[in-house]
Structure 1
């Protein structure tokens, strides 16, 4: 038990640090993307924070297996580089005995990730889509900030100097480029009225400019109206049964049995079960990919581990796409996973026997 606690202490720090660091990077990247798209309305800031929380289940399904695997590689490589592995082997401990605690850890992580994948991820997807719909609806409730161009109105940009107590805007400039050519309106004042699916701009005392150069035409007006289609402010609320990625376990299972849109349901069902199993597959690669020569350091092992992660994740993505399109049957997603697992089991057994294939060792540690 002492060796188990010692190895777990070596592993837990890099594991937790890796999760927090990568999760922070992914959330910041997603936040910047969302802010760039939806930051015009001040209320969207709180909604964007909710969006980031709702994306965490999917991110965790990607991050946790990778963090488990890379931190375990780091632990094994550290023991190897400092000759602690040799001392443990000389005392009669096998590799399997040294790292038995990580089989328990992998099983616990697999159980937790399965719950995240089957329950939390579809709930997060549903909440995410509903918040995006709400943000779009909010964009239909138009308000204009003084001395700032408001864009995103279907090809129309609006600038106002200010607004009085009666809700009348003053110093209004409007550019309409919906038809491929720019039409500019300049008005002393304007009122904006929302309809069911449009925004009506009632301009007063201004000019309308159309065309360029010698073809430019100017029209002075006392009253002029411009109608702009806007998103429906009463966009309907999405429900879990609207798409397979948002369905509960029972709804998805029922859809599988009904045969309606069968390919998409099969792909989603297998994806939810397969993603958590990646942590079990990676467990068997940690030892063989980490037994590098002492003089080579950890770099070769870690690079090989990252390459393996990229190969597995891309294989899963490609097979999921093919199954969802009906090109491949659902079991092919598991075939790819099982092939990788068998390779890991083979290499793990050879590592236990200190007989890793020479070609494999040259690939992992080409400088050796």
Structure 2
């Protein structure tokens, strides 16, 4: 490989990695806001937010990886155009295929990395996230409580206040609980209590001692108010929402083919979408970076972003159609990739003729 080709290869990879870091920062901020919202609702322990954010990185890479490659290559090739280095290459007799080689190498390397992420790393992250959420759902009542503060659980239906917590024995003191369900409100106070998990797959109970209970309808004047005192009360807690995910999301790519169900077939097409997009968009950067003298450098970037938006929306639209029809046969997402491939070939032919 020529020194010039190695330079383009190195600069293209570096610019793509930097673009990926920037895009991951933006997407991670959105994911973090979503996770913090779940933690505020009591669906996720606060201490697990950062771990869940790390486990969602493969998903973020699949979303923005192809765009980062396209942006990085456009930045690299656009700089060569702006500084007239492309003109020097053409006047020096550099063959078009020698310019294509480093660009194709970057695209293939990037697509290989996306294939590893979508085919193997993403299922591992999904499986780990499901396990973490299942454990958090069982232990969130104690692990998520903060002494001296009101905590909301079960999507805001339950509010708990405890004056103190003994983390070694999970003993609670000075307990206040308000639970609203099906138009009924219950308010309980107790001097002490503890969480009771009878078994791995059984219900959860909160054992309260020396307390008082008040229950009424949403409109207290309609149904009256019921009051009672108790020495011991076993309060059955609402069952946590199922934190499991669809089984195909935790399958590796080889396990999804041949597909046995429409959902597995749809998942298989989705896993291949990011690597194929990496190849096609990476190759597309070369003809898109070409521009006439004195033409602005941002025109190709805007066109590339618009093209990526249309392409990514078409992929998600195809996935929605596959989900609605639940068919085991059909073109799937291949027409979307095929349309972009035809565009790439057409632009390559035009660029090669102009070279």
What TM-score does the superposition give when structure 1 sets the normalisation length? Answer: 0.79
Distance in 1 (CA, whole Å) between partners of 2:171 and 2:332 is 62
Contact 1:208 1:219 in 2 (8 A): yes
The within-5 A match list for 1:239-318 is 243-253=247-257, 256=259, 259=260, 261=261, 263-318=262-317
User: Residue 208 of structure 2: which of 202, 221, 225 is its match?
Assistant: 202
Alpha carbon RMSD of aligned pairs, Å? Answer: 3.5
Query: Cα deviation per residue 1:264-289 (whole Å; 9 max; x = unaligned)?
Result: 22222233234211122113321332
Distance in 2 (CA, whole Å) between partners of 1:134 and 1:44 is 10
Contact 1:81 1:297 in 2 (8 A): no
Distance in 2 (CA, whole Å) between partners of 1:91 and 1:339 is 35
How much does 1:176 deviate?
Answer: 2.7
Equivalence for 2:345: 345
Q: Could you tell which deviates more after superposition, 300-309 or 147-156?
A: 147-156
Unaligned runs of 5+ in 1: 356-368
Equivalence for 1:102: 103
User: Residue 223 of structure 1: which of 230, 238, 241 is its match?
Assistant: 230
Query: Cα deviation per residue 1:201-247 (whole Å; 9 max; x = unaligned)?
Result: 536365737466866956664427473433369x89x79xx712212
Contact 1:281 1:344 in 2 (8 A): yes
Contact 1:23 1:63 in 2 (8 A): yes
The within-5 A match list for 1:31-110 is 31-38=32-39, 44=45, 47-110=48-111
Classify 1:220/1:337 alpha carbon distance in 2 versus 1 (closer, same or farther; 3 Å).
closer
Distance in 2 (CA, whole Å) between partners of 1:290 and 1:77 is 6
Contact 1:266 1:330 in 2 (8 A): no
Distance in 2 (CA, whole Å) between partners of 1:137 and 1:169 is 20
How much does 1:12 deviate?
Answer: 3.5
What TM-score does the superposition give when structure 2 sets the normalisation length? Answer: 0.81
Classify 1:228/1:142 alpha carbon distance in 2 versus 1 (closer, same or farther; 3 Å).
farther
Equivalence for 1:332: 332
How much does 1:25 deviate?
Answer: 2.6
Contact 1:205 1:223 in 2 (8 A): yes
Equivalence for 1:158: 160
Paired residues in the alignment total 343
Classify 1:249/1:322 alpha carbon distance in 2 versus 1 (closer, same or farther; 3 Å).
same
Contact 2:171 2:192 in 1 (8 A): no
Distance in 2 (CA, whole Å) between partners of 1:199 and 1:28 is 36
Q: Secondary structure at the match of 1:7?
A: helix
Distance in 2 (CA, whole Å) between partners of 1:176 and 1:120 is 40
Equivalence for 1:120: 121
